[in-house]
Amino acid sequence: MDRPSPAVQDYLKAIYQLDEVAEVQGPVTTAQVAEALAVTTASASNMLKKLDTLGYAVQVKRQGVELTEAGRSAALEVIRHHRL
């Protein structure tokens, strides 16, 4: 699979990190993602739809988004590369 675009990588990393530090289990909200990346909720919403289409995440209606296995491994790959 090709490497995700930088924007997709940023979202994957943000969702992964929000999910890891979340006190509550369950989907990460669009508002949380938007705040973490300093973008509008509309922009975040559009990208989350794209991540769903690409198979990196699953949108849960009115709740938020969860990473798929592919999304999770792509996020970990991004984090590994950013640490180097």
Residue 59 burial (CB count, 10 A)? 17
pTM of the model as a whole: 0.89
In order along its 84 residues, the chain shows pLDDT tens digits of: 567 899 999 999 999 999 988 766 779 999 999 999 999 999 999 999 999 999 999 998 888 899 999 999 999 999 998 665
Q: How many CB atoms lie within 10 A of CB 50?
A: 15
pLDDT of residue 48: 96
Among 77, 53, 48, residue whose Cα is nearest residue 65: 48
Question: Within 13 Å, how many C-alpha atoms sit on residue 73's CB side?
Answer: 5
Angstrom distance (rounded) from CA 37 to CA 35: 5
